[in-house]
Structures are given as C-alpha cells and as structure tokens.
Amino acid sequence: MSQLSDIWFETRVAAESLAEFMSGARLRLGVTGLSRSGKTVFITSLVHNLTRALAAGRKSQLPVFRALAEGRITAAHLDPQPDFNVPRFSYEEHLEALTSGADRHWPQSTRRISELRVSLEFNSKAWSLRHIGQENARLDIDIVDYPGEWLLDLPLLGKSYAQWSHDTLEAASVAARAPIAADWRGATAMADPKARYSEAVAQKLAKLFTEYLRLAKTERFALSTLPPGRFLMPGDLEGSPALTFAPLPVSEGEELPHRSLGREMERRYEAYKMHVVKPFFRDHFSRLDRQIVLVDALAALNSGPEAVRDLETALTDVLTAFRTGRSNLISTIFRPKIDRILFAATKADHLHHTSHDRLEAILRHLTGRAIARAEGVGATIDVIALAAVRATREATVRHEGEKLSAIVGTPIKGERIGHDVFDGIAEGAIFPGELPADPAQVFKGDALALDDEEADFRFLKFRPPIAKLDKEKDPLPLPHIRLDRAMEFLIGDKLS
Ligand SMILES: Nc1nc2c(ncn2[C@@H]2O[C@H](COP(=O)(O)OP(=O)(O)OP(=O)(O)O)[C@@H](O)[C@H]2O)c(=O)[nH]1
Ligand SMILES: [Mg+2]
C-alpha cells in the first residue's frame, strides 16, 4: 500500500515538472526552522518586500537583489496557490499585525500548515528565451509555513519506539533537565511496560511527559530537542490516541505481551509516525527545491551553553534527515532535490552590526556537521545573519567617558533591564553585549538558564518598528537586514 502511494506520488511529481516546463518556472521554497525561529515573520517580510518593491521605487531597500536592481522585474504579485487542500498563508493578517501603528505586534505562533504563491514577471537575459520571443518570463514561488515544532518529528521516522524511549529518557536524565523532568520520570519508573494496558495510566504518563516538554521549552530553559512536535502543537489532533503515548523503558526487540501498556504505547507511537509525521513530510517537504533554515541562536545564547548545545543537537538531527543521496528509511519517503540551502541566524537586529560576523560564525559552528553533509551531496550552502524585520536602529552612546555601540528600539511591555521595566511605549538604548570572537566559547560550560548577573549578553525583545507609509497610506516595504542577500541566493539565479 505504501509502495503504491509512493509510486503515485512520484508520478505526480513528474507530471508537475512537465506542467512547470510548459508554463514558466516554479520554485518551491522551504522556510524551515524550529519553533519561534522567525519563519512566519520572514515569509511576511519576504513577500511584502517582493510585492511592494516596484511601487516603492527608490524607497525599496533591496540593492543586492540583482534582477530588481537591474530593473528587469516587471511585476510581482500574489497568485492562487497550487494546492487546493492546504489553507492559504494569512499574509494580509500578519502584515496588518506588524504594521498597525500603536497596536503593532508580532504574529501569533503558527498552529497549522499554510501556503502562498508569489509570481514574478521579469525580462530574461537568457539568449534561448529571447531567441524565441520569450524574454518576458515568469517565476512562481511557492512558500510553505508550518509550526516549527513539527520539524522535530523528522528524526522520529528512523527510530523505533524502544530507541526513541531510550533517547528521550536519557536526554531527560542529564543534570540540566533532570529537575524539570522529575515528576514525569518518577511516574515512568512506577509504570510496568508489561502490565495490562490502562487508559488512565497512558493518559497520566502522556500528560506528565507533555508538561515536561512544555517546561523545557519556556524561555528560561529554551531547550530545542523536544519531540514529538504535536505534543506541544497538536493542531486538530488534541486528545486523540495518536497523541496519548509516552516513552517507557523497553528494550529493542523485547516481546511485550498482547494488550500490555508497553505494546499499546508502541502502537500509538507507530501510528503517530505513520499517520501524522510521514504525510506531513511526504506532502510538503519532498517537493522542495530550495531551503532557508532559520536559526534563533540569540534565544539559546540568552539561556546559556546547555541551550546552545541542545540547539545544535536538534539542528543536526533534523538536518541529517534532510540529507540527500543516502538510502535510508527517511530518504525513501522524503527524497529531497534541494540544490541550495541558506542557513540564516535570525533577529540580527538585536545586535550592533559590528557583531553580525560573530553571529554568523556561531551559526557556522552550530550547523557545521549538517553543512559538511549537505555540501557532500552537492547542495550549495551559504550562511548569513539577517533580520526579516528590523525593529531597531543603531546609535553610539557615551557612557562614563567611553563610546559604546548601542541599539535603540521599543522593548516589548514587561521586558526589563535590572530593575527597569519597559512599558511597551518608551524607547530604550541597549548594549546587548559582545559575542565572543571564538564561536566555540558559547558551547562551553554547563549552566542552564543563566541569571542576569551571570550572562555575558542579554537580548531584549523589541516591538516591530513603526511602519512608514506611502502616499496611499500603504506601508512601505518592511525594513530588514540582508533580506536582499537571502533573496539573491535563494531565487536570484532563476531570474537571469
Ligand atoms: N527583532 C526581531 N524579532 C523577530 C524577527 N523575526 C522574528 N522575531 C521575533 O521572533 C518571534 C517568533 O517569530 P515567528 O516568525 O512567529 O516564528 P515562527 O518560526 O513562525 O514560530 P512558530 O510559528 O512558533 O514555529 C516573533 O514573535 C518576534 O518576537 C526579526 O526579524 N526581528
Ligand atoms: Mg510561525
């Protein structure tokens, strides 16, 4: 059955590329990243900057995006999306949230998958197209948004229940996690995998396990490796048996009695993989052409080395599953043909530009293993620090006779520096601190949830910037840092 559906799936992909060939080029862009890494904000700003650039003329801020700078883009607009069964990305709603004057705010965390198509019309430089009178070419860019948590499920496809249980229980036993995992691990120790299954026990374990995941994810700990992703972001599966399971100490190959707790948990875990994880990756990821991987390194840095190492593990696990070429369970379901991957450290507007190179270096370090693999299979890789929406500006402030590089913005209500609490209206000049010159430094030590006094750097959350409006009172393209460099890398060559 699964083989048949895979064949059907491949036929569909082939048919799609033929259709694509006949009707202009098409590019499916994956915007990937763990939860809160900035995917929804990135997509909104990318689409806004692309579709508003022509009208904004000289106020457009995309000098590195060549086709635009060369004046070859003739139109850019939203078009009906290709898939009828996927909700549309709420672009207008997100833009409204970001640009609504005094009420401006960041979009909510994403709860379900959605999709959007942007079409660009451009004058091609390609001789072959000009030759057949086709210099007016078109590129359709399809972009998919989804809750970042779901990404963490990808590595599960290659793991049995026993393996996953073992990994999860072991991860929870390290010093950094043990205190927050205590209740759930206590209940797990009392449960006998061979005892007769009871729904009450299954529910209790699943509930305590979910509470542990929720706690580990809070800003204080900022841990990243927390699958299964649907436990924290269930979508429409809340309360279903496919989400009512938890790890148990069982060994690989162990015969568990029929109707035992362990056996039932294993069945549910497998059902979760089969009915939830696999379709998501098969339907949305295997069709990607290009990928941007957004990483919020600053949130992890804020919490300390344990969170940084955890982020590295999560990224490596996920990106390993993306690797092409090697035949394993995952690559047969999910056969990526991705030829370009951009790793982007997001929210660079929290730092003075003099620190951007260091942020890039930290990201290179974080993703080093994954990059080595992706390069090995022929994908072109780049690493940048960017801000999809720039919420701050830079300033030099004199402090005790010394000149300091500061960033100025409106911190979100409730953010604090020492005893000062921001009200969400006043601006503040902030010295975010220096990132270390040696990126390896941020991985060292075992502190978890650093307190203010211990931390070398502290990043506050800022509100979105106040939108500048054009004559028609429409917002001018959202300000950003290096979004144009990201565009050039991800789509520039398709516009030549
Ligand atoms: N200053 C600044 N903050 C940003 C930027 N992008 C994202 N943020 C912050 O990061 C938060 C998360 O951004 P989202 O785009 O919602 O993240 P996401 O990856 O879609 O998160 P999920 O939907 O939960 O997976 C926002 O609410 C902002 O606080 C940026 O370019 N600059
Ligand atoms: Mg989102």
Tokens 């690797």, located at residue: 323
Ligand 1 centroid–CA 38 distance in Å is 3
Q: H or E stretch including 400?
A: none
Mean pLDDT of 4-27: 58
Instruction: Give the model confidence (pLDDT) of 401-413 as tens digits.
Output: 888 889 999 999 9
Question: pLDDT grade, residue 335 (50/70/90)?
Answer: very low
Residue with tokens 């994956």: 30
**Which of 35, 40, 94, 110 to mutate for ligand 1's pocket (most ligand atoms within 8 Å of CB)?**
40
Pairing of β 290-295 and β 340-345: parallel
Q: How far apart are CA 252 and CA 255, in angstroms?
A: 9
Ligand 1 site, residue 37, Cβ cutoff 6 A:
yes
The CA radius of gyration of the chain, in Å to the nearest whole number, is: 24
Ligand 1: centre distance to CA 35 (Å): 9
* Residue pair 41/388 in contact by the 8 Å Cβ criterion: yes
Using DSSP's 3-state secondary structure scheme, residue 431 falls into: coil
Predicted local confidence at residue 329, as pLDDT:
44
pLDDT the model gives residue 83: 85
Q: Stretch 286-302: mean pLDDT, rounded?
A: 88
Residue 471, pLDDT > 80, answer yes
Q: Is the pLDDT of residue 127 over 80?
A: no
Nearest CA to ligand 1 atom 23: 110
Q: Which residues contact 157 (CB under 8 A, 6 or more apart)?
A: 273, 277, 278, 281, 321, 329, 330, 333, 334
Q: How many CB atoms lie within 10 A of CB 199?
A: 10
Per-residue pLDDT reduced to its tens digit, 45-69: 999 999 999 999 888 999 999 999 9
Torsion angle, CA of 309/226/31/276, rounded to 10 degrees? 150
Which residue from 44, 46, 347 has its CB within 8 A of the most atoms of ligand 1, so it is best to mutate? 347
- pLDDT at position 450 over 90: no
Percent of the chain that is helix, strand, coil (3-state, to 5)? 45, 15, 35
Name the pLDDT band for 452 (thresholds 50, 70, 90). low
Q: How confident is the model at residue 217 (pLDDT cuts 50, 70, 90)?
A: confident
| Residue 148 near ligand 1, beta carbon < 6 Å | yes
State how far the Cα of 360 lies from the Cα of 348, in Å rounded to an integer: 10
Q: What local confidence, expressed as pLDDT, does residue 306 receive?
A: 83
If one counts every other C-beta atom within 10 angstroms of the C-beta of residue 94, the result is: 22
With a 6 Å cutoff on the Cβ, whether 224 touches ligand 1 is no
The amino acid occupying position 308 is V
Query: Does 170 have pLDDT greater than 70?
Result: yes
Quick one: pLDDT band at residue 95, thresholds 50, 70, 90? Answer: very high
The least confident of 229-238, 332-341, 395-404 is 332-341
- Give the distance (Å) from ligand 2 centre to CA of residue 485: 22
- Identify the pLDDT of residue 332: 43
Question: Hey, whose CA ends up nearest to atom 6 of ligand 1?
Answer: 38
For ligand 1, say whether the CB of 32 is within 6 Å of any of its atoms.
Answer: no
Amino acid at 28: R
Residue 25: is its pLDDT beyond 80? yes
- d(Cα 432, Cα 302) in Å, to the nearest integer? 11
- Expressed in angstroms and rounded, the spacing between residue 102 Cα and the centre of ligand 2 is 22
pLDDT of residue 14: 53
Of residues 87, 265, 259, 242, the one with CA closest to residue 161: 265
Return the structure tokens found at 160. 């049995």
Ligand 1: residue whose CA is nearest its atom 10: 38
Per-residue model confidence (pLDDT) at position 449: 46
Residue 223, pLDDT above cutoff 80? no
Place 257 in a pLDDT band, splitting at 50, 70 and 90. very high
Residue whose CA is closest, atom 14 of ligand 1? 38
φ, ψ at 355 (rounded to 5°): -95, -5
Entry pTM? 0.87
What is the per-residue pLDDT for 2?
46
